[in-house]
Amino acid sequence: MSKQRLVMIGNGMAGVRTIEEIIDRDPDKFDITIIGKEPYPNYNRIMLSNILQKKMTVEETIMNPYSWYEENGIALITGEKATRVNREKHIVETEKGREIPYDICIFATGSKAFVLPIPGHELPSVIGWRTIEDTERMIEIAQDKKEATVIGGGLLGLECARGLLDQGMNVTVVHLAEWLMEMQLDRQAGDMLREDLEKQGMKFELGANTKEIIGNQDVEAIRLADGRDLPADLVVMAVGIKPFTQEAIDSGIDVERGIVVDDFMRTSDPEIYAVGECAQHNCKVYGLVAPLYEQGKVLADHLTGRPTEGYQGSTTFTSLKVSGCDLYSAGQIQEDDEVEGVEIYNSHDHVYKKIFLKEERVVGAVLYGDTDDGTRFFNMMKKREPIEDYTLVSLLQKVGEEAVSTVADMDDSETICGCNGVSKGKIVSAIVEDGLTSVAEVTKATKAGNSCGKCKPQIGELLEHTLGGAFVASKPAGICDCTELTRDQIVTQIRAKGLKTSKEVRHVLDWKNKGGCPKCRPAINYYLNMVYPHEHEDEKASRFANERYHANIQNDGTFSVIPQMRGGVTNPDQLIRLGEVAKKYDVPLVKVTGSQRIGLYGISKEDLPKVWKDLGMRSASAYAKKTRSVKSCVGKEFCRFGTQYTTRLGIRLEETFEYIDTPHKFKMGVSGCPRSCVESGVKDFGVIGVENGFQIYIGGNGGTEVTKGQFLTTVETEEDVIQLCGAYMQYYRETGIYAERTAPWLERMGFENVKEYVLDPERQKALYDRIMDAKRAVAEEPWSEIVNDQADQKIFKVEKV
């Protein structure tokens, strides 16, 4: 039996999910062609805000890579728009003249950002945020522009505003309503959200109407209805979405606000269907992912001949962190003659909860600050569970019972992943039957957690509950048992909540051990130094002892002292001084180190301050998680094989980046020819001189597991080397997990992603500028060493040489 030809117009989340469901049910029923106007495979549009907020790369948002289409025999056409469906000939026509025959056609064209038709809306820096291209354009503008205006204070607008703040812009949100997210939050929760976001640096104009965007060649300001002008270099429209329906209109299909469909997602043409944001069902168009996936399941059932009652509409919910602020909203959230509200407001903990009741059943909920009850309320709404067994005093806690706080207490029918409609029972069955042991495996098998990701902690709880002692939760490097937060979550919260000290971080982010531990204290101190290079006062007590002493403890309790020798270069005066100090303190061992310096070994703790004072030299930072030495050969100046002045370049690199904190030690090597006498190929940043310039290698690490550096590029001048090194180091500083070497960091981030990022001229310059700002903050610190961590700590100064 020959396969039917199925052509889908649109390559977005709802459409591709429909195809996934069809393949799951009957992989041999259709020959499938998908036409997408964007030049990408299917990606998670929800995560565009994470790209803008520097949490994810474009590649990390891809849900179905090109290989998935190939493995399933799907013909994918990208970067090409379908223009019309010729219903008489059963052909889909494209803008490039293709004619693709079909037996079944599905419109999954999604929606576009609604752009206010006001004067100036066509200026280049007015953007309706909807695609990867829009996101990249905003990041590009933010590189050299400072004033951003976001029109719209809904979920999308606030995520955009947070991202533009992270890009370094000053952001004002202009919103027509009297409070933020008025479609999802009541006034109390909206006001609490505004208060928290203002602390992050956002500015708001509420109850404000934009009448005009001012500018000649590009945006210069916006004009409000009250006559005020607000400066702006970038204007982002986040006032809503509009279904893409033009292709359907041109095809003669019934269209109102969206493409009109019945309960089986069928349009006015029985061989053409529509699903997702472009579809209108019972006079309603949905913009959240959960209803769109429900539609996709119904359509897949219908097309593969499975029994289905059809699509009956959806109860929508929002459960997200808006710029680090926890909120949840579901169902009807406004009181009227039939709906009444019950609320709790805890001003001390900044927590607000309100449920909305109709006929003794929950019909809506708004939660702010503590959203743990969101899933429970949502399941009560879906099941239309009466509240007669609950007491309203404790906000729907059953009388005589503890509040439902873990997924273990939930019924198997209750929903864990609202976006994908995955129940607890389905997840548990998959864990048991398929031997799943990680959240990633559960997501792959059930799709739970594959959209907004909010339910992943609950999936982890289910794994732990189901597997018991066999479950070992994976923890990212650098995070201790004091907190379950990842590195990215900690840094995001530091930025979002303006946390300025380690104590604030531990208390505000609810550390289990409020005092921290030897693993997390130095990590938090590093993250604070990285985020606030000028504002944060380095917490010396949080550093490892070796960093405080500027000396490394040896196996017999004595210490090694290694003074700075940039590029391995010294002079007679330094050598004489080293010799004199070694004699004076009867140093047992004077040795040339592996990093081309001279170390004094066997010094007592009590003698450390006096040794440093007598040397009059700065520490080489030989024991810290920061820029270490730069090894260099003699190069062109003396060696007959040398092609470049490598000693000079080594000294310049060390002078430029010395004492800058990094997630782990950062070593460099500069070799004058491909013989690489200083082993540049196993350095975090390795340079090899060649006739036409300098070859650059990154991610090389020595140690118990040796990692060979990967070739990055060849540059022409010493200035190019220094700028590229600074950009690479800063990217590592901003994205690395504390105590993570560059080799595993590079593997985690992806070599090609790092290469593309640091070789982009604009990004490279921006990164270099930021690391130079961090260097200035280091230079501003008085040169002091803390050499005793007892109660009577001594601090002494050493003059620069």
pLDDT tens, residue by residue, 605-618: 888 888 888 888 87
The pLDDT assigned to 479 comes to 58
Q: Which whole number is the average pLDDT over 333-347? A: 84
For residue 646, with 0-12 CB atoms within 10 Å meaning exposed, 13-18 middle and 19 or more buried, which class applies? buried
* Strand pairing report for 203-206 and 279-281: unpaired
Write the DSSP string, 287-347: -SHHHHHHHHHHHHHHHTT-----------EEEEEETTEEEEEEE--S--SS-EEEEEEET
Give the phi and the psi of residue 613 in degrees, each rounded to 5: -65, -45
- Higher pLDDT residue, 117 or 780? 117
Q: Which whole number is the average pLDDT over 704-711? A: 83
Q: Which whole number is the average pLDDT over 377-384? A: 80
64 by DSSP, 3-state: which? Answer: strand
Residue 431: pLDDT over 90: no
The pLDDT assigned to 258 comes to 95
Half-sphere exposure of 796 (CA within 13 A, CB side): 17
206 by DSSP, 3-state: which? Answer: strand
The pLDDT assigned to 788 comes to 39
**Range in 66-80, 113-127, 351-365, 586-600 the model is least confident about:** 586-600
pLDDT band at 779 (very low <50, low <70, confident <90, very high): low
* Strand pairing report for 552-553 and 559-561: antiparallel
Give the residue from 659, 618, 656 showing the smallest Cα distance to 670. 656
Q: How many CB atoms lie within 10 A of CB 203?
A: 14
The pLDDT assigned to 564 comes to 78
Write down the architecture of domain 4-111+243-303 according to CATH: 3-Layer(bba) Sandwich (3.50)
Q: Are 41 and 62 in contact (CB under 8 A)?
A: yes
Q: Where do you find CATH 3.30.413.10 in the chain? A: 625-782
Query: Which residue do the tokens 């095809």 mark?
Result: 251
Q: Which sign does the torsion angle of CA 119, 123, 125, 126 carry?
A: positive
The answer on whether 633 is annotated among ligand-binding residues is yes
* Strand pairing report for 104-107 and 4-9: parallel
SS (H, E, C) 735-751: HCCCCCCHHHHHHHHCH
Q: Which sign does the torsion angle of CA 723, 724, 729, 735 carry?
A: positive
> Taking all residues of the chain, what is their mean pLDDT, rounded to a whole number?
84
Q: Which whole number is the average pLDDT over 268-282? A: 95
The pLDDT assigned to 790 comes to 34
The pLDDT assigned to 699 comes to 92
* C-alpha to C-alpha distance for 753 and 724, rounded to whole angstroms: 15
Tokens at residue 80, please?
């090409």
Tokens at residue 689, please?
């001189």
Give the residue from 234, 290, 217 showing the smallest Cα distance to 46. 290
- Higher pLDDT residue, 704 or 772? 772
Q: Which whole number is the average pLDDT over 452-479? A: 65
**Range in 233-247, 386-400, 410-424 the model is least confident about:** 386-400
**Range in 36-45, 65-74, 253-262, 593-602 the model is least confident about:** 593-602
pLDDT band at 437 (very low <50, low <70, confident <90, very high): confident
Q: Which whole number is the average pLDDT over 631-660? A: 85
Give the residue from 117, 113, 109, 107 showing the smallest Cα distance to 127. 113
- Higher pLDDT residue, 350 or 311? 311
pLDDT band at 787 (very low <50, low <70, confident <90, very high): very low
Percentage above 90 pLDDT, the chain: 39
Tokens at residue 517, please?
């531990």
The CATH number of 625-782 is which of 3.30.413.10, 3.40.50.2000, 1.10.10.350, 3.40.50.1000?
Answer: 3.30.413.10
Residue 138: pLDDT over 60: yes
Q: Are 480 and 517 in contact (CB under 8 A)?
A: yes
The pLDDT assigned to 455 comes to 75
Say how many Å lie between the first and final Cα of the chain, rounded.
85
Q: Which residues pair with 272 in a beta bridge?
A: 105
pLDDT band at 405 (very low <50, low <70, confident <90, very high): very low
The pLDDT assigned to 599 comes to 83
pLDDT band at 801 (very low <50, low <70, confident <90, very high): very low
* Contacting residues for 633 by C-beta, under 8 A, at least 6 apart: 639, 642, 646, 647, 670, 671, 672, 677, 678
* C-alpha to C-alpha distance for 218 and 405, rounded to whole angstroms: 53
The pLDDT assigned to 361 comes to 87
Classified by CATH at the fold level, domain 126-239 comes out as FAD/NAD(P)-binding domain (3.50.50)
The answer on whether 725 is annotated among ligand-binding residues is no
pLDDT digits 0-9 by tens, 529-543: 899 988 888 887 777
Q: Where do you find CATH 3.50.50.60 in the chain? A: 4-111+243-303, 126-239
* C-alpha to C-alpha distance for 15 and 37, rounded to whole angstroms: 13
| Category of 380 on φ-ψ map: left (φ > 0), alpha (ψ -120 to 50) or beta | alpha
Half-sphere exposure of 266 (CA within 13 A, CB side): 12
Tokens at residue 647, please?
């000693």
The pLDDT assigned to 87 comes to 94
Residue 72: pLDDT over 80: yes
The answer on whether 673 is annotated among ligand-binding residues is yes
* C-alpha to C-alpha distance for 493 and 517, rounded to whole angstroms: 19
Torsion angle, alpha carbons of 789, 793, 799, 801, to 10? -10
Residue 793: pLDDT over 60: no
- Which CA distances in Å does 598 have to 488, 563, 580, 622? 39, 7, 13, 11
pLDDT digits 0-9 by tens, 493-512: 888 888 888 888 888 888 87
* C-alpha to C-alpha distance for 303 and 293, rounded to whole angstroms: 15
Q: Which residues pair with 670 in a beta bridge?
A: 632, 687
pLDDT digits 0-9 by tens, 531-581: 998 888 888 777 776 777 777 777 677 888 888 777 778 888 888 888 998
**Range in 306-315, 534-543, 714-723 the model is least confident about:** 534-543
pLDDT band at 407 (very low <50, low <70, confident <90, very high): low
The pLDDT assigned to 208 comes to 94
Residue 722: pLDDT over 80: yes
**Range in 2-6, 325-329, 503-507, 549-553 the model is least confident about:** 549-553
Residue 344: pLDDT over 90: no
Q: Secondary structure of the chain: what % helix, strand, coil (to 5)? A: 35, 25, 40
Give the residue from 149, 198, 206 showing the smallest Cα distance to 177. 206
* Strand pairing report for 693-698 and 685-690: antiparallel
The pLDDT assigned to 729 comes to 94
pLDDT digits 0-9 by tens, 726-767: 999 999 999 998 888 899 999 888 899 899 999 999 999 999
